[in-house]
Structure 1
């Protein structure tokens, strides 16, 4: 069968971003944003409403069956694609962070066009330009940079779509099953963790957190001295996992190259608490500093300092701070609407239960550490399987768009 190769812009009648919405709570028209587009699907539950009486929408920017939507701004979201496979139930457009890519009539089987864009998704993702966090994918880049290949025969396109649909349905089922197993592994550990701290044990006592520790505010380091590299890592709530523990932010990591006041360079084993919910689930999360003379105690983080004569095992309280009971107590007293905050005073008012001896605290922590390690191994295995399934999808797509795809190969 004869194949054509062309620039994306040469096979499309429209490559344009959407409207700058005038948002309203009810009425108006549906507006798809970047959050709606994920895993080649569109989640309209995350869409918003635009007041079309205040600002009219050009008819060409209403989405149609067969359109492909491309996220066109932002690190981590730029490049995601999803196709409109069925007629929208109401007039729907996209905002200015999303590009509508509409094929020329008569060139493509609709679904084939969607797969064609998925096949170059990685290329699109790597083609953004701009500073970190402000990357943009221009209309010109979409039109002129990407080569697409397709059979001239619509019948052949339909044959390829049938094979891809069948293969991807099986892979998606395997992905969904693996994701369930991954979630079950996490929930099993969380259930055991919450049971230990809700049922408590013989000899456990209850006190206010303030009876055990002082909580020291971090320092407001000057942004003039933030850097992409350096000797000192500037910790932020973004360095905390939602379930606790240190997260290396890779290329997004902030470093500090200015003068550092005394008392704000952390020591290995220091215990810190996130006091700002930079992302959902972070408020009240904790980390234990993994190195000496490497991390800086930044604002919005509380440093726990045990009081003289108190029994405090970092690893025990690390697990306690991850329990549902503790996080709910933090959330109840937090302030703020869009971004939630807590304070040393509010944290110190929380009641905590714990064994009276350090040896018993350490025993509980050791048991939880062992179970957590086993859970993480399970999660790693499931994540590797997910990665392999996603790679299989890409391999099948590459064969499809190089004319090598057969039913027998996908079945194998």
Structure 2
């Protein structure tokens, strides 16, 4: 660096020789620099870039329904655009009408009776997750994080100053964490347990009796629970999702429920989520949001009112298609050499173990990790999947089956053909 007269820039005369100069300071803060890009969005972006370049890539990366938002919801947004009320700032915590509608929807769908004042409307489920951790965690507080976990959880915990403590499950236990595992991971610094059922990335669904055990264990140990229920309406084979504060009412005062319109109503791009919790938590989250983003888009909120106040027929239609694809993808993945694929009971993901395919010679390469295998599959079969490293459990791949039936069959068939060439 130079001074205004062209000479070298000198530190101030009274500066300590050990004090960092402007040159020494990092351009990006350590806090933000440590955050990784969303692996699922990165895989989806790479697949789309390759398709744009003319390659016939089939993407299983994004957790996004391939259905349009239902017409009645879109029409509500169109009408909202014409209403000058929606052209102005509104309460940071959400439109009062939407908070009331979410409270009513929660009572209807999960049996959890809450007041509108316990609802905070957020810019999608991701903001709800981050704000839940930001409100609860002080530096060094630990969060028990059953793995495989959604990629955003540990990053949100780190941003809030907390420490993730993964509790690893596998396909032998259907990716469901046990009380014994949780107790072994608990320390005096443990403050929060994160639960997600139905699960992203595995599609596993916790039975009500297991949730009761976990909820009572958390209550007895003075822990908070953050429960992500955004896939609540996507379950199969007669399985029902259960809500922890319904199963264990005494935990309600130390429980935050995260949800949103993205998956149930095919509204991923509308960015409307929410968290439900005790009044002091919601107030603190609203204060944070008032400085971070202000109100969620009013047009999107009006659309969300129509969504959560309407019936679930659109969700039922999507669930029927997802169920068909679920059966197809499990059958096809089970026929891939080296893959072991449990049958998911919820969401729209399959999470096979691919450990049996690692270390084998495939077109001149020996992938040693699931990340390397995913890269090989993308390059050689032109199929994009997310490696288990992104979810805290190497040795697996996540496949979203929220894509067309023909692409699903074609994509997994390509993988079958590629891995059938594998040699010891």
The TM-score normalised by the length of structure 1 is 0.28
- Return the structure number with greater helix share: 2
Greater relative CO, 1 or 2 (CA 8 Å, sep 6+): 2
